[in-house]
Amino acid sequence: MCGIVGYNGNLDAKEILLKGLEKLEYRGYDSAGIAIRNKEGVTVFKEKGRIKDLRNVVDGEIKGNIGIGHTRWATHGVPNKINAHPHQSATKRFTIVHNGVIENYHLLKKQYLNNIPMQSETDTEVIVQLVEQFSKEGLSTIEAFRKTLSLLHGSYAIALLDEEDGDTIYVAKNKSPLLVGVGDGCNVVASDAMAMLQVTNQFIEIHDGEVVLVQKEKIEISTLDGQKIERKPYTVELDASDIEKGTYPHYMLKEMDEQPGVVRKIIQEYSNEAGELSIDEAIFAALRGADRIYIIAAGTSYHAGLVGKEYFEKLAGIPVEVHISSEIGYNMPLLSEKPLFIFISQSGETADSRQVLVKVKELGHPALTITNVAGSTLSREADYTLLLHAGPEIAVASTKAYVAQLAVLAIVAYVAGEGSDVDLKKELAIVANAIQTMVDSKDEMQKIALEYLNNVRNAFFIGRNMDYYVSLEGALKLKEISYIQAEGFAGGELKHGTIALIEEETPVFALVTQEAVALNIRGNVKEVVARGANACVISMEGLNEEDDRFVIPKVHTLLTPLVSVVPLQLISYYAALERGCDVDKPRNLAKSVTVE
């Protein structure tokens, strides 16, 4: 997790780096730092906390045309000023920022750096000390850098400055995301194009095991053993305004509001000239050729995968297993004869999912990635990609990407199923309108949050079938942004243990959108109410009863998750606001989880 930036050009680097880091804060926000090189040498500024805290310690007068920066999500060493990046070598000749985890840093320290006193607790410092060590032994900087990289096990995106070389940022990547940007009178480095859209929209992908020299006038890419690589830049079709909050107080609120538009955009993107829903023929063939689909994902994307299973089984008749990526990677189940792996990932960078993809490719099985980020690692490394078209999602809590994942999964399953009698295009249009009704009901959601979640310790979400999957997502949303302990349960499971936790006034949110199990879930509501729970029933039109707290518009049974999740997102948002939480950047979390 962590984000890195680098600038080498005609302009003053400081403000460009700080602005870039602000755009990368979603990747980590417990400490940050920048290093600026000018005639006097390299000066480092770092601070615990956010970029705004870093701004307070950066010398406003400092000027320099080359610099690197970092925003951190701590893995090795507590979040403090000392462990914040950039890190410097013993003589301060070399300065580094790093995203990733060096698994063998202890070993390297023991083997090569026994006499070097370390300043920080980080794995990163080992890299910069090694470069200095090898350069002292007579290697040029690029040779010392390459030798160091060849010793590292783990993941890294690195930008390195050499005080004795005023022209170059030394860059390398393995498993962690990294792009190089081609600007007018400058070249840049960033974990994510968003950080450098202020300077350019022309970016070059860097592949694992490559080393790049980023100079003002040129970019030189080579392999670890020195073979030159030519690669053309591509245009990033993002508008800088897509990544601004505008008049919204939080990205999360903006992103929830965008959900009806996202569904409409997906319908459009996945319609062919005849106006029918369609997907790429090669992907269609891969789906039809599979005897079983394995969906791999984490967090919210895993919850989307659970719904996706229903879509593939009901609309396409293909059996599906859904796996948490951090579990399946180290414990592959017995696979079917012709498996197709589908990776669902908003960011396309989740390390847990990526390690599974690497194994799947080693086994020679086909893989499809469904992601929001074109050119992301999971997209590049899979055989096929389908995009979510949700626009950048900045808030750590995923909202519009989840809805987009469900819409795309429904379309893919529907197209793969050919003969389905659902008019999915029409049904999705109805869903878009229903979501609009939901996001227009913010006042009511705020009231519900106050009524049910004021000063509570914990909360439960229950549902059956599709509603159960949405309960899991509702609970995740609430816990990650409000820190209320929240759990999602299959309604029928409560009585097998969890009902012991229900006390006077315990909030229980119950979803009732599935006709086949509506009576059963209502029975579960009665059970918890009899034990004192404060039950908030959210039902769907047609299945509603008098005392239900909120009724969502009627949509197709299979598509209810796209709508019923929205009140849960909004209730979580208002509960978090009420508690004074940092909604967009909850504690301990990061948007892109690029460590296993």
Of 51, 55, 43, 53, the C-alpha closest to 71 is: 51
236 versus 395: smaller Cβ distance to ligand AGP: 395
Phi, psi of 567 (to 5 degrees): -60, -35
Q: What is the number of the residue whose Cβ is closest to ligand AGP?
A: 299
Phi, psi of 467 (to 5 degrees): -65, -30
Decide if 23 contacts 245 (C-beta within 8 A). no
Decide if 76 contacts 123 (C-beta within 8 A). yes
201 versus 572: smaller Cβ distance to ligand AGP: 572
Shortest gap between Cβ of 577 and ligand AGP (angstroms)?
Answer: 17
Cα–Cα distance, 375 to 547 (Å, whole number): 49
Decide if 68 contacts 88 (C-beta within 8 A). no
Decide if 250 contacts 584 (C-beta within 8 A). yes
> Binding to ligand AGP (CB under 6 A): which residues in 509-528?
none
In the structure encoding, which two tokens stand for residue 392, read together?
């950048």
Is 345 a binding residue for ligand AGP by CB under 6 A? The answer is yes
Is 287 a binding residue for ligand AGP by CB under 6 A? The answer is no
Shortest gap between Cβ of 208 and ligand AGP (angstroms)?
Answer: 18
> Could you give the string, one character per residue 525-554, with x where binding to ligand AGP holds by CB under 6 A and - elsewhere?
------------------------------
Tell me whether strands 367-371 and 384-387 are parallel, antiparallel or unpaired.
parallel
Decide if 359 contacts 333 (C-beta within 8 A). no
211 versus 262: smaller Cβ distance to ligand AGP: 262
Count helices and strands in the chain by DSSP H and E runs: 18, 25
State the alpha helices, DSSP H only, in 156-200. none
Binding segment (CB under 6 A) for ligand AGP, from list 21-29, 68-76, 218-226, 390-398: 390-398
User: HSE of 530 in the Cβ direction (CA atoms, 13 Å)?
Assistant: 9
Is 2 considered catalytic here? yes
> Could you give the string, one character per residue 218-237, with x where binding to ligand AGP holds by CB under 6 A and - elsewhere?
--------------------
Q: Which of 177, 299, 305, 463 binds ligand AGP (CB under 6 A)?
A: 299
Of 75, 48, 57, 73, the C-alpha closest to 14 is: 57
Is 398 a binding residue for ligand AGP by CB under 6 A? The answer is yes
CA distances from 556 to 152, 202, 563 (A): 52, 43, 10
- Give burial (CB, 10 Å; 0-12/13-18/19+) of 117: exposed
> Could you give the string, one character per residue 458-487, with x where binding to ligand AGP holds by CB under 6 A and - elsewhere?
----------------------x-------
Of 515, 300, 322, 288, the C-alpha closest to 413 is: 288
135 versus 345: smaller Cβ distance to ligand AGP: 345
Is 397 a binding residue for ligand AGP by CB under 6 A? The answer is yes
Is 135 a binding residue for ligand AGP by CB under 6 A? The answer is no
Shortest gap between Cβ of 479 and ligand AGP (angstroms)?
Answer: 10
Binding segment (CB under 6 A) for ligand AGP, from list 173-181, 284-292, 339-347, 412-420: 339-347
386 versus 494: smaller Cβ distance to ligand AGP: 386
Q: Find the farthest-apart pair of alpha carbons in the chain and give their distance in angstroms, rounded.
A: 81
Binding segment (CB under 6 A) for ligand AGP, from list 125-133, 296-304, 332-340, 455-463: 296-304
Catalytic position from the list 23, 216, 265, 591: 591
370 versus 537: smaller Cβ distance to ligand AGP: 370
Is 569 a binding residue for ligand AGP by CB under 6 A? The answer is no
Shortest gap between Cβ of 474 and ligand AGP (angstroms)?
Answer: 11
Task: Give the number of residues in contact with ligand AGP, rule: CB under 6 A.
Answer: 14
Is 3 a binding residue for ligand AGP by CB under 6 A? The answer is no
- Give burial (CB, 10 Å; 0-12/13-18/19+) of 53: middle
Catalytic position from the list 2, 186, 536, 581: 2
Report helix, strand or coil for 251. Answer: helix
Which residues are known catalytic residues? Answer: 2, 591
Binding site for ligand AGP (CB under 6 A): 298-301, 345-347, 350, 353, 396-398, 480, 593
